[in-house]
Structure 1
């Protein structure tokens, strides 16, 4: 068979197979009427579907549709070169002065000995430092946050030491060959009288701190100046305001000291209260604008967080079971609750007194005495000592004829028992004479400074005249601080 004949037979077989495939019954079931040369709607839909699938595959499969040459990462040529490190300064190598000062901040509970030990400085060096004039007093009790500086070169031998003796003096010591020499450097400071003012807002403490008032000054406002006239839990609203005069000491742009509160005003419920710090007989006190002490002669309730359980007068004794005169009032409280002196006094008696148990009796002068009974233990005061108002003189207990821990409190005037809850307390002695004249001059200056600041901060503020003046009820716009 020739090649021509064989090729003809192959073409005939392929033609027969093609004709058979076109007339298969299976394909007929998938076509409506066969392909007529024109695409139907179904053909277009199938074609669109296949084209969409193809594009999705090309987008999802990385590198599909990109030339193979582009898939190969192109690596830029890299070159390495050696660079010499900069040499250490000769001063550092030789350990010369001034190259290695380390500033250490004292942590709570940390001692000077621990600091020196942590830095590897021998105890003998520390003792040589403490032997310098004034060093022991300044470094014996270090407050948290105090900064000390050590000059420690690379060889580890302490060469210098410095600390701040106070706000205006720095001590620098040079240590060489076991000997120590020191010099005191005076650091200039500036003292400014400022007025800090603001409104109470949601929290008096947070607002006052935000304006720059210290926690100690805030406690002076609430626990010393205005504690007798303002209930800070009930009487103070968000729109009430305060102004405080203090002296601030600055050194090299840093606030290093703040004086006690010199003057303060507080507007609560539309009423203006004021207080001024003034020394009488060498003792600082706070007075109203009229020169009357803000501290009352007696605290009405000499125990905090207590509950009145028995009043003054006739009652049946809970232990003896018979009716007798109750010469004081009883406050129930937990054992160990501190008991405060109701007023400035001299301790008259400390000890055991029959059914009263452990007793402290105070003599306040001018015929006034107070008695505190059933204590669990005494405070640090003994008979004959002076005790200030508010000092802790003992602790609640149940000694003597008692059914439970409580304080029995008595108040006497010229030896006659009076009801502590209703007796008219004696007013404190006001300023008079030359002291009152000096005080009035001081208050005028302080009030004018407060008024100048409040005129700027608060709109339509009423003039400050006295504790009886009524302040404007207009809402303060903002708080602030100003030099006075």
Structure 2
């Protein structure tokens, strides 16, 4: 069986060979002599044309292979792209120190003083005791900031987790702040300096209805207008003497602390023209460190006597040698001036002096007499009640000595005011008041050189500019 399969396979191969030879007979005829077989007797190799062609072709293929294959391999290799590398700085974390200190934000409680509050009220409002308050007062020493607190003043408290007092801050004055820190009974007190500056302003006004309206139009606050009136109250009665067309020019300042507005400052220089009369005031620091206001000739603005010792609404009765008494119905002299004012209005001492009489006087009701010097005295009648001054006590100009009322023979609340010279009544509105003494020689020269000359030059320049502006405005109106 196996022999028959082998015979069949050999027959198939021979048949396939014969078929190939018949199909490619022309090739075999041409290349039969190329055989390298060892059939028969070997003939010596002769290089015919075909053999040279075959050898040349082989050499050519070999040479081309040596050149083309490397080039093709290089072409097929992906291009190497040079990538540009940017150098970026990397912030490497710093090595942490052995101990990291984290600052502690202190929680200070800021308390602003309200009207009517006392320092004990403020401490108790923070849950602190009077012992804490006494401890602070003892450590602070003699400071007015704690003994004379005022509305708007600030106190800063630093409290512990248990509510105990760890620190307190308060303004000692405008330019410094006191800081206290407590560690049990131990206290550390330090002072902090604060930057204070004054910024000047200039205002000019002309009276057309009232001083306050003119001041407001000029950009002044109510408080600054009151300061202006306070300066010139010794020379000008702002209720009766003010006239339309009167004018003023004021140089004043505001106070700033640490760059923030703190409060209104003071009038530096001022000029007031009333019914054609010119009055001036200049602020000057005296040799003793105190400040005062002086006229151009160096005399204090504050006169020896107030022209009017009460804020009144109207004059209800003038000084007169003979008038009909409103209650008695008789003609008799009225040897003083009656200033009508609401009951309870404060009455001020017209000048420095000593209380000579305090009590009831027929017709005058509650009555006070103040002796100012050997020849001049003032008298005040119809008071509703007295102040705390006693007979023989010295009083200063402007101090409150009583309050307006209608005790004695009076038909309404008013102050009856008398000015007496050697016990003879004079008209308070017309009597020539003694002029105060000017500054001493050296201070007067300093005042005129450092204050009057530069400030007067500024006031004159302002007045000239204002007149020029008015003239220009009138010219345009005429055109």
Q: Hey, what does 1:167 align to over in structure 2?
A: 174
Q: Hey, what does 2:80 align to over in structure 1?
A: none
Matched, 1:443 2:449: no
Matched, 1:382 2:383: no
Q: Hey, what does 1:410 align to over in structure 2?
A: 418
- Secondary structure at the aligned position of 2:436 is classed as coil
- Secondary structure at the aligned position of 2:391 is classed as coil
**Equivalent of 2:185, from 179, 193, 197?**
179
Deviation at 1:221, TM superposition (A): 0.6
**In 2 relative to 1, CA 241–113 (structure 1 residues): closer, same or farther, beyond 3 Å?**
same
Q: Hey, what does 2:370 align to over in structure 1?
A: 362
- Secondary structure at the aligned position of 1:443 is classed as helix
- Inter-partner Cα distance in structure 2 for 1:233 and 1:383: 34
Question: Contact 2:313/2:339 (CA < 8 Å) preserved in 1?
Answer: no
- Secondary structure at the aligned position of 1:437 is classed as helix
TM-score (norm 1): 0.59
**Equivalent of 1:277, from 283, 288, 298?**
283
**Equivalent of 1:341, from 341, 345, 349?**
349
Question: Contact 2:364/2:407 (CA < 8 Å) preserved in 1?
Answer: yes
- Inter-partner Cα distance in structure 2 for 1:369 and 1:341: 11
- Secondary structure at the aligned position of 2:445 is classed as helix
- Inter-partner Cα distance in structure 1 for 2:458 and 2:199: 9
- Secondary structure at the aligned position of 2:267 is classed as coil
Q: Hey, what does 2:436 align to over in structure 1?
A: 429
Question: Contact 1:341/1:392 (CA < 8 Å) preserved in 2?
Answer: yes
Matches for 1:230-241 after TM superposition, within 5 Å: 231=238, 235=242, 240=247
Unpaired runs of 5+ in structure 1?
Answer: 1-94, 463-471, 477-484
Please identify, of 179-188 and 271-280, the stretch whose mean Cα deviation from structure 2 is larger: 271-280
Per-residue CA deviation, residues 158-183 of structure 1 (Å, 9 max, x unaligned), is 5444333333333333333x234223
Deviation at 1:425, TM superposition (A): 1.9
Matched, 1:101 2:107: yes
Deviation at 1:253, TM superposition (A): 1.6
Task: Count residues in correspondence.
Answer: 367
Question: Contact 1:100/1:152 (CA < 8 Å) preserved in 2?
Answer: no
Q: Hey, what does 2:36 align to over in structure 1?
A: none
Q: Which has the larger radius of gyration?
A: 2
Provide the alpha-carbon RMSD of the alignment: 4.5
- Inter-partner Cα distance in structure 1 for 2:409 and 2:424: 23
- Secondary structure at the aligned position of 1:313 is classed as strand
Unpaired runs of 5+ in structure 2?
Answer: 1-100, 474-479
- Inter-partner Cα distance in structure 1 for 2:239 and 2:416: 28
**In 2 relative to 1, CA 284–349 (structure 1 residues): closer, same or farther, beyond 3 Å?**
farther
Deviation at 1:440, TM superposition (A): 1.9
Q: Hey, what does 2:31 align to over in structure 1?
A: none
Matched, 1:133 2:140: yes
TM-score (norm 2): 0.60
Question: Contact 1:173/1:180 (CA < 8 Å) preserved in 2?
Answer: no
- Secondary structure at the aligned position of 1:425 is classed as coil
Higher helix share: 2
